[in-house]
Amino acid sequence: MHNQQADWRGSLRSFAHPRVVSMLFFGFSAGIPLLLIFSSLSLWLREAGVERSAVTYFSWAALAYSFKFLWAPLVDQLPLPFLTKKLGRRRAWLLLSQCSIVLSIVLIALIDPSKENALTIMALAVVLLGFSSATQDIAIDAYRIESASSDLQALMSSTYIAGYRIGMLSSGAGALFLASGFGSSMESYSYEAWMFTYIIMSLTMLVGLVTTLSVSEPVSAELRAKRDYSSVQYLRFLAMFSMSICIFVGVYIVGADQVEQLKRDVGSYAGNEALANFSIECLRLIFAVLIVCFFIRLVSFTSMYEHQLIQDSYISPVKEFFSRYGIRLAVLLLVFVGFYRVSDIVLGVISNVFFQDMGFSKTEIASVVKTFGLFMTILGGFLGGVLSVRFGVIKMLYAGAFLTVATNLLFMLLAKTGYDIELLYLVISADNLTAGLASAAFIAFLSSLTNVSFTAVQYAIFSSLMTLLPKVIGGYSGSMVDNLGYSNFFLVASMMGVPVLYLIYRIQKHDTFKNL
């Protein structure tokens, strides 16, 4: 009994470790941009008179989080002039991405979405914010895994989640309070109110900037052993990557009008506009990726293609993962990573609009959903970290998956009941407590899958897979609600999490994870 109490005290004392504490501030910096892309922006757009389906489509601007593995090798390999020599590999990219986030938020603030053609310009600014924020995430994840031993990873995940949620509180509830205080509402839209709100939000990123300049660069023998390349080789690599991105974007722009017409024709013929849109967008994405692959294949015959640099940056991290776990287990792990948070994220995209449609005011959403929900998430993250250390990550993954399915069903009850502030407290308590617990265990699990020699790339692949499918589906959540109604939508979103329990069971059967 005495030893157990000592173990619990030891686990709790570890929260005071400097590296663990630093993740609280980095988590805050990572949490700021997310709701400025999702819920706060969606309420701004709704007040500006933008249709609900168009509002949820804006969540696709955050798909940069899901494709960040494509430029993670740049963050891992490419030195930044002056900054890398002065700050180190990780801190240099942290500083650059954080400055870019500040610039992106200010650009969004300068655009009024109620004006004609403003949505296209705002979308570009939001994409830049998503890209910058995803780049910051790559650097933070690599820093976290490289800066401390595996026994601290669950606790670092907990403090990261706590900081992340506090950042989300600032850009979620904080933004709503500010916008309301400055005089904007559904009945009386004020662009100036939202402009000042987003400018103030950009200043909160100073927390991340100060933290980056205060912490020390993690020392990793594996990183120091990486192959060094010349500036010309890095520039060729960067040029090829930049050209690939331009081609990818160009494919989307060139056929935009034809694709929209095709969506209308297919939707009318099939009698299901949402399904037609989803199918066509998937085909459009696949086509754009194939064009880029064809371009890279052509470039591979020229001097621009740095074979060894590409090998070290893209191929070696993937090859090492599959060789370490074997093809069957590796595929199972990737499928699990892609599905674990699907139920939670898909529901989250539409949640703020749902609360508003149920009659809750911005002030109530800010105080209950954001502020009270924050403390529930932090408590859940704290429990997830400590319980993962005490009972194992796998058991907490089971608990998180089961509770996610169960708590998401509570949204059906709220949809049928309508405006009920006490029920809202109950739903938010259960949902956020579960989200915090599940996230802490899941981040610790992902960290355990990562080889420190390929930290940035492998973790970026995992975290990209974690959000790719949910965000693609979430972009259609507005259309799904229009077709199914809120109750049926919440049932479908909840059931998406059921297969996850079977995937955890399959993973646990392998010897590698029996003691995790």
Domains in the chain, CATH or no CATH each: 15-229+306-513 (1.20.1250.20), 230-305 (no CATH)
- What is the SS3 string spanning 146-213? HHCCHHHHHHHHHHHHHHHHHHHHHHCHHHHHHHHHCCCCCCCCCHHHHHHHHHHHHHCCHHHHHHHH
Distances (CA, A) of 364 to 72, 124, 181, 189, 201: 39, 31, 14, 18, 20
pLDDT top residue among 511 and 299: 299
What number is the average pLDDT over the span 87-107?
Answer: 92
Alpha-carbon distance of 512 to 508, in angstroms, equals 8
Determine the pLDDT at residue 225: 42
Give burial (CB, 10 Å; 0-12/13-18/19+) of 411: buried
Q: How confident is the model at residue 5, as a pLDDT? A: 47
* Whether the predicted pLDDT of 6 surpasses 50: no
Tell me: pLDDT of 153 over 90.
no
pLDDT at 206 over 90: yes
Report, as an integer, the average pLDDT of 444-448.
83
User: What pLDDT is stored for residue 53 in this prediction?
Assistant: 57
At 29 the pLDDT is 93
Of 186, 199, 223, 240, whose CA–CA distance to 47 is shortest?
186
Quick one: pLDDT band at residue 96, thresholds 50, 70, 90? very high
Is the pLDDT at 210 greater than 60? The verdict is yes
Provide the percentage of residues in the chain whose pLDDT is more than 70: 86
What is the per-residue pLDDT across 174-195, written as a single tens digit (0 to 9) for each? 888 888 888 887 778 888 899 9
What is the predicted pLDDT for the residue at 100?
A: 94
Q: Which two tokens stand for residue 267?
A: 């939707």
Of the listed ranges 90-94, 179-183, 184-188, 287-291, the least confidently predicted one is 184-188
Check pLDDT > 80 for residue 119.
no
Q: What is the pLDDT of residue 62?
A: 60
Q: Residue 4, by phi and psi: left (phi above 0), alpha (psi -120 to 50) or beta?
A: alpha
Q: Between 314 and 198, where is the model more confident? A: 198
Whole-structure pTM over 0.85, yes or no? Answer: no
Least confident interval from 356-365, 396-405, 465-474, 488-497: 465-474
Look at 7 and 413; give whichever has higher pLDDT: 413
Residue 475 in 3-state DSSP? coil
Give 221 or 353, the one with higher predicted confidence: 353
